[in-house]
Amino acid sequence: MKFAATVLGSGSAKPTLERLTSAHVLNVHEHFYLIDCGEGTQVAMIKHGIQMMKIEHAFISHLHGDHYFGLIGLLNSMHLMNRKKPFHLYAFCELEEIINIQLRVASTTFSFPLVFHPLDSSKTQEILNNKYVSVTSFPLKHRIRTCGFLFKEKKRARNIKREFVRKHNIPVEWFQRILDGEDYVDADGVKYSNDSIVKIPGVSRSYAYCSDTAYHKEVVDIIRGASLLYHEASFADEHEDIALVKFHSTARQAAMIAKEANVGGLMIGHFSLRYKDPQLLLSQAREEFPNTIEAVDGLTVEIGS
Amino acid sequence: MKFAATVLGSGSAKPTLERLTSAHVLNVHEHFYLIDCGEGTQVAMIKHGIQMMKIEHAFISHLHGDHYFGLIGLLNSMHLMNRKKPFHLYAFCELEEIINIQLRVASTTFSFPLVFHPLDSSKTQEILNNKYVSVTSFPLKHRIRTCGFLFKEKKRARNIKREFVRKHNIPVEWFQRILDGEDYVDADGVKYSNDSIVKIPGVSRSYAYCSDTAYHKEVVDIIRGASLLYHEASFADEHEDIALVKFHSTARQAAMIAKEANVGGLMIGHFSLRYKDPQLLLSQAREEFPNTIEAVDGLTVEIGS
C-alpha cells in the first residue's frame, strides 16, 4: 500500500526553471492529498505524473503567494475538465474570499463542490479523519498565521492473505475465527498456522510538513516519531540572523527539530536563492541529523514506517 | 530598432507542458510591454530570456484566469527583487481588488508603485502614448468584458547618420539645416547629398492583439493595416457552432478578420485542446489568409512594417 510524497515545488519565494514554489502531493493508498500549491503546480502535476482529478483534499499552510498562487488555476482546470467530485480545501478563511472574487469576475461557477474547511492556527487539531489517514494541523511560527500538517496513516486491519483465500475454499464461518487468531484446519484436517495465513498490518506511517516556520521547538511533541519530516531550510548557518528576522529556519535548525522529534527521515527544501548549490545546507543539516535528503522537483519519496 | 513580439503562452484555457496560457511580450526599442499574463508567465520569462524587471506596462485583456493568473506571482517576484520602478497595469478594475486582497492577507506592500489604469470595454480609446508607442484598447466580443489592444510604433524622427557625425566635424549650426533637408557642404567645399547622410525613418510598425473574441467585424477598421495581428483561433470549421456559443473564433474567422483588415501577417493561437495538432487550424486559416503563422511558446516574431 502506497504512502509516498512527491515534491512538485521545492523552491522558496520566487520560482526558477529548476525549482517551482512549494507544492507536495501525498499518496496514501492511491488517495491523493495536495499540500501547498505554488504557481505552476498544475503543469508540474502533468510533468510528474500526478492526476489532478484524483486530488481529493488540499492543505494550504499559509497565505504567502509561493504557497497558494497555483491553486486558483488548478481549481479552474478541474472545472474545465468537468470535475464532479467534491474538492476539500483546508486553508485560512481569506482564501475562500480570494477564490470567490475570481470566480465572480469570470462569471464562473465551478462544476464541482468546493468544500472549504477553515484552519485555526491557534491550536493543534485533527482536521480530517477518514478510512486511510488522519490529518492534524498545528501552529508554526511565521510572519503571518501558518499551520503545519501531520498525516498519519490509519493502522490497517488484519486480513487473511488474498492468495490463501483464492486457493482454499474457506467456509464463511471460519473467516472471523482466523481473524481472531485461530489456526485454520481444512476439511482434510490439514492445519495452517494463523501467522502463515494472516497479513499482519505494518506500523502506520506518517508525514509531517513544516513550512514556512522559524525554529519552533513546540512542534517537536506533535511530530514526534514521524516517518518523514519535511521542514523548510531557507538559510545556512551564516545567515541565522536573517532567518530569525524573517521567521524562517536554517538547515541546521530543521535538523535539530528532526533529531529532537526522533523522526525517521528529514527532507529539506525552500532554500533561499542566494545559495547556488544546496549542498552547503544539506551538509549543515546532516551534521545534526544524518538521514537528511534534499527536496527536488519531481522527487517521490516512498515513506517507510 | 526592435519591434518584436515574443509568445510566452500560446495555449487556451488549460495549460499543458507544451503550451502555457496566454502571455505575449512586445519589445518596442528595448522597452517591454506585457500583454496578458497566464499562470507560469514569470518562469516562461526566465526560459525565453525576457527580463521581468524591464517590463514597464502590462495589459490584461479580460479576467478569465488563463489571461491573468500569473500576474500576481510576477508582481510578487518583482517585489522580492526589490523593484523600485513603477509598474503600469491596464486592466478591468476588479483586478485591482483581486491584487489588493492578496497583498492584504500576506501583509505585503509592494516595493514599487503599481499604477492601475482601468480599462473601458465600451469604447475604443488611446490608453498609453509615450515616446515609443501609442496603445489603443478596443472592445472585443466575448462572454465577459474584453479588450483588444493595438500597439503602434511612433514614427521615428529623421536623424543624421551616426557614422557621418563621428567622421566629420560638423559645425553645430549645420545640424538643423541638414535635418531640414539641406545638403551638407564641409569646410573644404565638399558636398554631401542630404539623402546620403540622413537616416530616413521607416514606416511605423504595429501589433494588434485580439484574444479572446468571437468573430467580430467591428475590429477591422481599428486594426486596419496592422503589421502583425495576433488573433485567437480556438476552433476549426467543424466546430464553428461551439465557437459561436462560447464567444470564440474559428481559425478561418481569424483569417477573415486579417484579410478584411489587410494586415501584414497573422499569428493564431489559443487552440482548443481537442486538436492534437494545430496544422488543421493553420491550413483553414491559410485558405483565407496565406501569411498566417502558428503561435508557439518561446517564438519571437520580428515585426516588419
Measured distance CA(B163)–CA(B270) in Å, rounded: 45
Tell me which residue of B46, B79, A112 sits closest to B23, measured CA to CA. B46
Question: Which SS3 state, helix, strand or coil, does residue B33 take?
Answer: strand
Residues of chain B neighbouring A36 (CB-CB closer than 8 A) = none
Q: Which residue has the cell 476549426?
A: B236
Among chain A residues, CA nearest to B63: A106
Residues 6 or more apart whose CB falls under 8 angstroms from that of A183 comprise A191, A192, A193, A194
Question: Which SS3 state, helix, strand or coil, does residue B269 take?
Answer: strand
Residues of chain B neighbouring A102 (CB-CB closer than 8 A) = 63, 65, 98
Lowest mean pLDDT among A133-147, A199-213, A264-278, B268-282: A199-213
Residues of chain B neighbouring A66 (CB-CB closer than 8 A) = 76
Tell me which residue of B59, B208, B55 sits closest to B119, measured CA to CA. B59
Are the beta carbons of A139 and A122 closer than 8 angstroms? yes
> What is the band of A181 on the pLDDT scale with cuts at 50, 70, 90?
confident
Amino acid B202: pLDDT: 66
Instruction: Judge: B14–A64 Cβ closer than 8 Å, yes or no.
Output: no
Question: Each residue of B1-57: pLDDT tens digit?
Answer: 899 999 999 999 999 999 999 999 999 999 999 999 999 999 999 999 999 999 999
Q: Which residues of B are catalytic?
A: 66
**Rounded to two decimals, what is the model's pTM?**
0.89
Measured distance CA(B296)–CA(B301) in Å, rounded: 10
Strands B184-185 and B191-192, by their bridges, are antiparallel
Give chain B's domains with CATH numbers: 3-156+201-302 (3.60.15.10), 159-199 (no CATH)
Q: Does residue A252 register a pLDDT over 90?
A: yes
Which of B15, B76, B81 lies at the smallest CB-CB distance from A42? B15
Question: Each residue of B170-225: pLDDT tens digit?
Answer: 888 898 889 888 999 998 999 999 989 988 776 789 999 999 999 999 999 999 99
